Structure formats: structure tokens, C-alpha cells
Structure 1
């Protein structure tokens, strides 16, 4: 397991790009964190590192978006499970897990049985008083985030990500 502080959105993007070098087809990442934590920013960097076609945007309304590789590597499948009720709805998306790197935002608890190995990434952002005195910090603020990555299953056993 690793935990690190990521200072800015640009750093989160770079963290995603660096993670791409450690991933291969069949890898599954489950991203968890509140709105504005940097899940899509991380995924955008990951896509850049994988050499995919197109710009990564949040697939909130389409649920899943596949970005093919332009460099002969695996495609990136980016899933937003926020509006899904359970794992059966995720299964209905017919995702090619074996030949892609799959990132599932809001997927905690929805991926039982999908893969014997996965990375769970938790992103935490600061909360507190907003600049206008409101109840919570600005969602798009560029404050540091704390990122924890845990690996589960045989693929990640003995790695720096081992749980």
C-alpha cells in the first residue's frame, strides 16, 4: 500500500501518467473519493500515459467510455458507476476487462467477482469552510489531496501496493 500527498491538479494528472507505466491489459482500478477529489483528473493523466485516443472526460451520463490506444497498448475503459444501483448494472455494460485497463469511479463494493486482482485508490480532499464562509471547501480548489493505493489479489501480491 502506498499513501502520498498530491499537491495540485497538475500533480494528480502526472501521478496518473506515471501509474500508466505500471499497468497492463486486464488491470482494474477502483477509484473512490468525494466529488472534486481528482478521480477524473487522475484518469486523464492515466489515459495520456497509456497513449489513448481522445480526451478523458467524466462518463457520468454515458456510464462508460472506451478510449482505444494509438500506440498499440491496451484501451482505457473509463466507467462512472455513480448512478448504477448494483454490480448487475455494471455487468450489463459488457466491458472488455481482459484486453483493457479499466478504471471505475464510484465502484467500491460493485466489483465482486469481476477480477481476482485490482487496485483500490482512495482520494481524499480537504474539507472545511469555503472561501465565502459556506459549509464546504470549493470543489475545484487546488489544495493537496491524499491518495492511498492498495493492491488486492495475486497480480499485486508482493508489490508496493500489497494490502
Structure 2
């Protein structure tokens, strides 16, 4: 992972367009083997950020929430790394009240670790799970609540990141 994302940081994005632009800068800094975990409540902008990351990486395909398929791969026509966009929420949700589904087993069944050499993995809701794919990852936290409490009309997000190492 290239600078400035190799060290902790914070940025405020006032609009959706700003979030896309920040994601694009992040996407340009990512390299094959990088794992990015996106953390934040529903509606915080995780998929919006991923759309910017995809643009920065130059990958093909429309980036939408992979909620119903769990993971979607976007190929890179320029020979750069592919983007594997994962939504771990369903894995966590499946444990629910029954406890019959093992989210780590489900994550392992996706075989994402085999993608790490040639792709960038971006996982929404991945905290607590995806870290087990790689000891090196970037945790990105999106906070929309702070600015919304000050101004309910605000679209601003405070985005913080911290590498695992």
C-alpha cells in the first residue's frame, strides 16, 4: 500500500462526490495483495467509497453492494489487480439466533485468500472476520453520525484509516 495510506489518517468528505474522490485516491494507492476493511453503520457510505476505489484502480463493472451475492469480482482491463468486493454482513447475520452457520467457514469457502496475490479485497462489514485472511490490512472507518447530529441535512462523512502494522 502506497502513501499516505501506509500510516493512520483522517479526512472529512462533505459530499458523496468528495467520498468518491477520496476513494479514487485510495484505489490508486492499493496494490495486489492489499486487504481493506470498511467499517461503519448502515448508510455510512461504504459502497460509495468502494465505487471511488474501483475508479482509482481502473477496474470494470458497476460497483453495487454485494449483499445478495456476498462477493463480486471486478476485472482490471489494464493488467492491474482485480477488485474483490465482499459484503461480510450476511455472513455475520447468518449466525443470528440459530448459531448453525460458521461465518469463518463461510468466508473461507469464498476462497478469498487465493485471490490475494492478484487482487485487492475490499470488505464491507468485515471487521472481526476478514483480518484472518491477512495479517496486513487497512481498516477504514466511516462516520456519518457526528456531522448529522450537528446538521441533519449534512452528507458529510469523517473517514479514518489505520494500517494493521
TM-score by length of 2: 0.82
Structure 2 residue 71 is matched with structure 1 residue 59: no
Counterpart pick for 1:105 among 117, 120, 124: 124
Deviations 1:25-78 (A, max 9, x none): 000000000111110011001101111111101000000000000111000000
Partner of 2:143: 124
Question: Which one has the bigger helix percentage?
Answer: 2
Length, aligned pairs only: 144
Structure 2 residue 163 is matched with structure 1 residue 151: yes
Structure 2 residue 83 is matched with structure 1 residue 72: no
Deviations 1:114-153 (A, max 9, x none): 11200000001125499xxxxxx6xxx6521111100013
Distance in 1 of aligned mates of 2:122 and 2:141: 13
Unaligned ranges ≥5, structure 2: 1-7, 93-102
Unaligned ranges ≥5, structure 1: 131-136, 154-163
Counterpart pick for 2:14 among 7, 20, 30: 7
RMSD over aligned CA atoms reads 1.7
What's the secondary structure of 2:89's corresponding residue?
coil
For residues 73-92 of structure 1, the aligned pairs below 5 Å read 73-85=80-92, 86-92=103-109
TM-score by length of 1: 0.83
